[in-house]
Amino acid sequence: MNIEEERKIQIDNILAKYGMKTMEDARFICKDKLMDIDKILGEIRNDICDVARDAFTVGSAIALKKDTKLASYAAFDIGEGIQSYIVPLPEIKEEGAGYKLGFKAQAIIKDATEPKESEVDFARTLTFMNMNNSELVDATVALAKEIEKVEL
């Protein structure tokens, strides 16, 4: 099985865990709650790749499906969605980068502090998302704060 096949299985599993069947379901959930993922991500970086957009969409849909009301919790949910896109590779020892990204964003939201240089090189582990560390954290924080505003 290749990386894309493994990734698809992981994504399908996380979608199913939260009652979604396809990426279209995740997109619909976000659009139904008036969350414009493209606009929010575009404010962080104007050339977001499809995989990154989809990973952030899955994470946001998870938070919305769970009726997450606080940005700090939504950040973790977004990290869980991103985690589903990570296929462990032997040459990358960093495990749980999606979850750690969610925790990092959660800490920033709770402390209301500026992002500090991360101990985890998210960009290295999440190379498929084509974003640097600060962009990954900023996007997670921005989406989480937007979820907090959503009428559930």
| pLDDT value, residue 23 | 95
Q: Could you read off the pLDDT of 22-46 as tens digits, one per residue?
A: 999 999 999 999 999 999 999 999 8
| pLDDT value, residue 124 | 56
User: Residue 151 pLDDT > 90, yes or no?
Assistant: no
Domain range for 7 is 3-149
- Record the pTM: 0.83
End-to-end CA distance of the chain: 39
Domain total in the chain: 1
What long-range pairs does 4-13 form, CB within 8 A, spacing at least 24?
6/87, 7/85, 7/87, 10/84, 10/85, 10/86, 10/87, 11/58, 11/84, 11/85, 13/84
Q: Could you read off the pLDDT of 61-87 as tens digits, one per residue?
A: 999 999 999 999 999 999 999 888 877
